[in-house]
Structure 1
Amino acid sequence: MTTHAHRLGTVLALTAAGTLLASTVSAAPSGPEGAIPVPVPEVQGPLPGGLPGDPMADDIEDTYPFFATTEDLDSHGYVEEEFLVSGTANRYSEGEVLSSHPYRTRLLVRRPAEQRDSNGTVLAEWQNVTAGNDLDALWGPSAEHIMRSGYTWVGVSAQHVGVSQLTGWSPARYGDLDVTDGGAVGDDQLSYDVFSQAAQAVRAGELTGGLEHDRILAIGASQSAQRMTVYYERVLPLIEPVFDGYAFMVGNAPSSPDRPEPVFQVLSETDVARIPVAEDTATFRRWEVAGTSHSAWAGRMARVDQEERDLGGQAEYDCAEPPFSRVPLHHVFNASYDHLDAWARGRGRPPGADPIERTALGRIARDDDGFALGGIRLSQVEVPRALNTGSNAPLDAESYFCVLFGSHRPFDEAELAERYPSHGRYASAVNRVESENLRRGHITREDSRENRREAARP
Structure 2
Amino acid sequence: MIKTMKLIPVTMDSYPFQTAAKKCNFDQIGYIEDEYFMSGTADIYSETDADHKVEAVYKNAPYTTRLLVRRPRNVIKFSGNVVIEILNASAMMDIDRMWVNSWKYFTRNGDIYIGITSKGHVVDALKRFDEKRYAAINWDNPMPERKIPEESSPFGFLEQYESGLYWDMQTDLAKLLRSISELNPIRHYGKCYLYLTGWSQSGSYMSRTIHSFSYRQENMVDGPLFDGYLEAGAASALAPTNAYEMTQEGFFGNGTIPKGGVIMSREPYICINTESENRGANWIGDSDLPDYKFRTYQIAGTSHDSYYNIVEYYEGHLFEDAKKASCELKFGGCDGEPLNTPYEFVFNAAFRNLYSWVRDGVPAPHAPKIDVVPAKPQDFDALTVMLSSGKMKYENHKDAFGNTTGGIRMAALDYPVGVYKSYSVRENNSYDAMFGTLYPFSLDKLKGLYGTLSHYKDLVNQSAEETIALGFLLKEDKEEYVDRTVRLAEKLGLND
The residue aligned with 2:134 is 174
Which whole-Å CA distance do the structure 1 matches of 2:357 and 2:331 have between them? Answer: 40
Equivalent position to 2:303, from 275, 293, 309: 293
**Aligned to 1:107, what secondary structure does the other structure show?**
strand
Aligned equivalent of 1:132:
92
CA change 1:105–1:187 in 2 (3 A) is closer
The match for 2:454 among 403, 406, 424 is 424
Query: Which of 212-221 and 387-396 deviates more?
Result: 387-396
Match of 2:171 in 1: 196
CA distance in 2, matches of 1:359, 1:403: 19
Change (3 A) 1:454 1:99: closer
Residues 357 and 187 of structure 1: CA distance in aligned 2, closer, same or farther (over 3 Å): farther
The answer for the alignment partner of 2:232 in structure 1 is 249
Alignment partner, residue 286 of structure 2: 280
Q: Which residue of 1 aligns with 2:55?
A: 96
Q: 2:401 aligns with which of 346, 349, 369?
A: 369
1:203-222 maps to which residues of 2 (within 5 A)?
203-204=178-179, 206-208=184-186, 210-222=188-200
* Pairing partner for 1:141 from 101, 119, 123: 101
Whichever residue aligns with residue 315 of structure 2, its letter is: V
Q: Give the CA deviation at 1:262.
A: 0.9
Q: Deviations over 1:330-349 (max 9, x none)?
A: 11111111111111114310
- Are the aligned partners of 1:268 and 1:289 in contact in 2 as well (CA < 8 Å)? yes
Who is 2:40 aligned against? Answer: 87
Cα distance, 1:292–1:347 mapped onto 2, change above 3 Å: same
| Counterpart residue number, 1:304 | 315
Q: Would the alpha carbon gap of residues 316 and 262 (structure 1) be closer, same or farther in structure 2, given more than 3 Å must change?
A: closer
Question: Which SS does the other structure have where 2:133 is aligned?
Answer: helix
Counterpart code for 2:174? A
Q: Paired residues, what number?
A: 407
Q: CA deviation at 1:422?
A: 2.3
Q: How many percent identity over aligned positions?
A: 25
Deviations 1:276-304 (A, max 9, x none): 23210011011100001101112021122
* Unmatched runs of 5 consecutive residues or more in structure 1: 1-38, 54-62
Identify unmatched segments of 5+ residues in structure 2: 49-53, 145-159, 238-260, 376-393, 488-494
Residue identity matched to 1:388: Y
- In 2, distance between residues paired with 1:420 and 1:340? 36
Q: Structure 1 residues 310 and 394 mapped into 2: Cα distance closer, same or farther (>3 Å)?
A: closer
Distance 1:378 1:455 in 2: 9
Partner of 1:102, secondary structure, is strand
Q: Quote how far apart the aligned CAs of 1:43 are.
A: 3.5
Instruction: Show the 5 A alignment for 1:37-76.
Output: 39=1, 41-50=2-11, 52-53=12-13, 63-69=14-20, 70-76=23-29
- Quote the Cα distance in structure 1 between the aligned partners of 2:306 and 2:277: 12
Q: In the aligned structure 2, how far is the partner of 1:42 from the partner of 1:444? A: 41
Deviations 1:27-58 (A, max 9, x none): xxxxxxxxxxxx5x2343321124x32xxxxx
Q: Deviations over 1:143-199 (max 9, x none)?
A: 211111111110000200123322343232111211234674855111122222232
Q: 1:160 to 1:183 in 2, by over 3 A?
A: farther
1:329 aligned partner, one-letter code? Y
Give the C-alpha shift of residue 368 in structure 1: 1.9
Change (3 A) 1:96 1:375: closer
Report which structure shows greater RCO (CA 8 Å, sep ≥6). Answer: 1
2:457 aligned partner, one-letter code: A
1:355 positional shift: 0.7
Q: Give the drift of 1:316.
A: 4.2
How much has 1:213 moved relative to structure 2? Answer: 4.0
Q: In 1, are the aligned partners of 2:297 and 2:369 still within 8 Å (CA)? A: yes
CA contact 2:38–2:66 (8 Å) conserved in 1:
yes
Alpha-carbon distance in 2 for matches of 1:294, 1:149: 26
Counterparts of 1:437-452 in structure 2 under 5 Å?
437-452=467-482
Secondary structure at 2:460 match in 1: helix
Equivalent position amino acid for 1:314 in 2: E
Deviates more, 1:207-216 or 1:107-116: 207-216
- The normalised TM-score by structure 1 is 0.83
* Contact 1:250–1:266 under 8 Å retained in 2: yes
Partner of 2:370: 356
Task: Give the 3-state SS of the residue equivalent to 2:7 in structure 1.
Answer: coil
Of 466, 469, 485, the match for 1:436: 466
Question: Would the aligned equivalents of 1:394 and 1:403 in 2 still touch at CA under 8 Å?
Answer: no
Which whole-Å CA distance do the structure 2 matches of 1:317 and 1:427 have between them? 28
Q: Is this contact kept in 2: 1:105–1:179, CA < 8 A?
A: yes
Read off the aligned partner of 1:156 and give its amino acid letter: I
Q: Distance in 2 between matches of 1:455 and 1:134?
A: 30
Decide which moves more: 202-211 or 158-167: 202-211
The answer to whether the aligner puts 1:227 opposite 2:223 as a matched pair is no
SS of 1:204's partner is coil
Distance in 1 separating the partners of 2:350 and 2:56: 37
Secondary structure in structure 2 of the residue aligned to 1:189: helix
The 2-side partners of 1:235 and 1:180 are apart by 22
Look up the SS of the partner of 2:272 in the other structure: strand
Question: Is the CA contact 1:145–1:334 (under 8 Å) kept in the aligned structure 2?
Answer: yes
Query: Which of 106, 111, 126 is matched with 2:71 structurally?
Result: 111
Question: Do the aligned partners of residues 98 and 277 (structure 1) sit closer, same or farther apart at CA in structure 2, a change above 3 Å counting?
Answer: closer
User: For residues 372 and 455 of structure 1, do their structure 2 counterparts lie closer, same or farther at Cα, with a shift above 3 Å needed?
Assistant: closer
Candidates 252, 258, 261, aligned match of 2:264:
258
Describe the shift of the 1:315–1:303 C-alpha distance in structure 2 as closer, same or farther (beyond 3 A). Answer: closer
Distance 1:365 1:156 in 2: 38
Using the TM superposition, give the Cα deviation of residue 433 of structure 1 relative to its aligned residue in structure 2, in angstroms. 0.6
